[in-house]
Copies of this chain bind each other. A is one copy, B any other.
Amino acid sequence: MTEYGFIGLGIMGSAMAANLVKAGFGVTVWNRSADKCAPLVALGARQATSAKEVVAGCSITFAMLSDPAAAEAVCFAPDGVLEGLKAGKAYVDLSTVDEACSRRISDAVTERGGRFLEAPVSGSKKPAEDGTLIILAAGDRGLYDEVKAAFDCMGKASHFLGEVGQGARMKLLVNMVMGGMMAIFSEGLALGEKGGLDPGAILEVLSQGALANPMFALKGPNMLEENFSTHFPLKHMQKDLRLAIGLGDSLAQPLCSASAANETFKRARAMGLEDFDFSAVIQAIRQKRE
């Protein structure tokens, strides 16, 4: 069976790598803080001493880093991914990064004769553990087909979306819709609260009709209790709205609703809510401070 490399063992990466090991794949792991490797090794993974060593030893390497800066650092640094690459090797970056960052990594990999796939995922900790992520891949189509079996261990669905950049773009689009839905949902709740409706009844009514969705069901009760413990930080949502609107700008696509939502999320940031869950945007609509 294929031996995969896996770089980056944060909350998401650890869970995803574990699913590969459990599925019977050989997996060689590396993480900047080496102690994160122990649980994987306990499950049966091999541990390498650098990103370079992972790539040199495996035909296909996955990476799951926290942000564009980390993704580029692991790729371009001494003892990094590029140093281990040679013709025929493949690199699959599961990190959420912007299009430009993804293209820089892609270009560097393909210049050295390697194959590249960007594959940001939709979903957070729980879906990562349960292997129910949604994988938004783009780049080398042959490589996508080759790693499909691995994606099937990590996610409940994967999509091949075309050339490098389209994975990042799809992720942005999904998050833009998420931000817009959260904003209008929050306005509905705030209006109901001011209008004397039982907020619990609002959630129940919304859960029974054509608008019912897991996000309203999951976030709604916490929002009523003003519990905003962070699953996806508000500042990241606002950043994604900004980037999506910027993409619309470059394509001459007006986005009035996204833009209104963006200003509301900014207002929440200005109120000091940036590190809370993005559902805390409701406080900006309620005009209620912490």
Give the residues in chain B near A209, CB-CB below 8 Å.
122-123, 134, 174, 214
Q: Do the beta carbons of A180 and B180 come within 8 Å of each other?
A: yes
Query: Nearest residue in B to A156 (C-beta to C-beta)?
Result: B208
Q: Knowing A169-B195, A202-B173, A218-B210 touch, does A263 contact B259 (C-beta < 8 A)?
A: yes
User: Does A75 interact with chain B (Cβ within 8 Å)?
Assistant: no
Number of A interface residues, CB 8 Å?
A: 76
Instruction: Tell me whether A251 and B213 are in contact in the complex, defined as CB-CB below 8 angstroms, given that A166-B197, A197-B161 are known contacts.
Output: no
CB nearest neighbor in B for A212: B213
- Considering the chains assembled together, what is the distance between the CA atoms of A196 and B8 in angstroms? 31
Contact for A177 among B178, B184, B256, B264, CB less than 8 A: B184
A261 touches B176 (CB 8 A): no
CB distance from A25 to the nearest CB of B (A): 23
| A248–B287 CB distance below 8 A | no
When each residue 180-212 of chain A gets 1 if its CB lies under 8 Å from chain B and 0 otherwise, what string results?
110111011011101111100110111011111
A270 at the interface (CB under 8 A from B): yes
B residues less than 8 Å from A287 (CB atoms): 254, 267, 270-271
Q: How far is the CA of A251 from the CA of B285 in the complex (A)?
A: 13
Q: How far is the CA of A218 from the CA of B257 in the complex (A)?
A: 21
Q: How far is the CB of A280 from chain B (nearest CB, A)?
A: 14
Is residue A253 contacting chain B, with contact meaning CB distance below 8 A? yes
| A42 interface residue per 8 A CB criterion | no
Chain B contacts for A215, CB-based, 8 A: 210-211
Any B CB within 8 A of the CB of A145: no
Stoichiometry (number of copies): 4
Q: Are B184 and A257 in contact (CB under 8 A)?
A: yes
Q: Is A260 an interface residue (CB 8 A)?
A: yes
CA distance A134 to B246 in the complex (A): 31
- Could you tell me if B252 and A263 are in contact, using CB atoms closer than 8 angstroms? no
In chain A, residues 80-135, which have Cβ atoms closer than 8 Å to a Cβ of chain B?
Answer: 122-123, 134
Contacts of A212 in B (CB 8 A): 213-214
Q: Which residues of chain B are within 8 angstroms of A205 by Cβ–Cβ distance?
A: 122, 134, 136, 157, 159, 170, 174
Residue numbers in B under 8 Å from A39 (CB-CB): none
Residue of A166, A180, A254 with highest tally of chain B CB at under 10 A? A254
Of B169, B180, B185, B254, the residue contacting A197 (CB under 8 A) is B169
Q: 24 A–B contact pairs at CB < 8 A?
A: A122-B208, A123-B210, A156-B208, A157-B204, A159-B204, A173-B191, A174-B205, A176-B187, A177-B211, A181-B184, A183-B184, A183-B257, A184-B257, A187-B255, A191-B247, A242-B249, A252-B270, A254-B264, A254-B287, A255-B263, A256-B261, A257-B264, A260-B260, A270-B287
